[in-house]
Amino acid sequence: MFYLSSARIYLSLVVLCLFFSTSANAQASEQSKVQTKPKDNSETLKLPPLPQASANNAVASVEIDNQQYLFSFMGLYSGKGYQDVHNKAWKINVSAEKPEWKSISPVPSTLDLKGRLASIAVGIDDSVYLFGGYTVAASHEEVSAPDVYRYH
């Protein structure tokens, strides 16, 4: 029999809450511009677009060494076909004077097909955790991803 600890149940609830709140926020934002409020709420910060336009990506924010970072993982390129699902990852230091997206290690996978759609990214302390999602085969079969990864 499998038992979930209270910490795992709590984390699962947090992930679900964040998923629904980020889904609503993502739909409201423009595709080419990301805007966020600095901690002091003094002005809206306009960020550059991702190096490659990506839909259905997993996004999370964390603070590392008193600097706020935004991460973007995987998703679907503009072609919108099974071959456009990718595993690329980027981060941007939104606290920097001139924020720029930087490529980071691609998301690994235990599946033959790399990349995912509908994954969830959650920032906890100074790490980002990636959960679930699925990828699409050439036959259009959807394959669920069992992997969980941590970026730090």
Q: What is the pLDDT of residues 134-148, one digit of tens each?
A: 999 989 899 999 989
List pLDDT tens digits, range 110-128.
888 889 999 999 999 999 9
pLDDT beyond 50 at 56: yes
pLDDT of residue 41: 61
Q: How many residues does the chain have?
A: 152
Q: What is the percentage of the chain residues whose pLDDT exceeds 90? A: 59
DSSP string, 65-121: TTEEEEEEEEEE-TT-SGGGEEEEEEEEETTSSS--EEEEPPPP-SSSS---BS-EE
- Alpha carbon distance 12, 9 (integer Å): 5
Q: Which residue has the tokens 């984390």?
A: 11
Residue among 79, 143, 152 nearest 115 (CA) = 143
Average pLDDT over residues 60-80: 95
Q: How many CB atoms lie within 10 A of CB 61?
A: 17
Q: How many CA atoms lie within 13 A of 101 on its CB side?
A: 17
Distance CA 82, CA 137 (A): 6
Output the pLDDT for position 124: 96
pLDDT of residue 36: 55
93, two tokens: 């230091």
31 alpha carbon, distance to own chain's centre: 15
Given a cut of 90, is residue 68 above it in pLDDT?
yes
58-82: average pLDDT: 94
Q: CA-CA distance, 123 to 130, in Å (whole number)?
A: 9
pLDDT of residue 8: 40
- Taking only the tens place, the pLDDT of each residue in 17-43 is 444 444 434 443 444 455 555 566 666
The pLDDT of residue 37 is 56
Of 14, 106, 111, 127, the closest CA to residue 57 belongs to 106
Give this prediction's pTM. 0.71
Return the pLDDT at 21: 41
Average pLDDT of the chain?
79
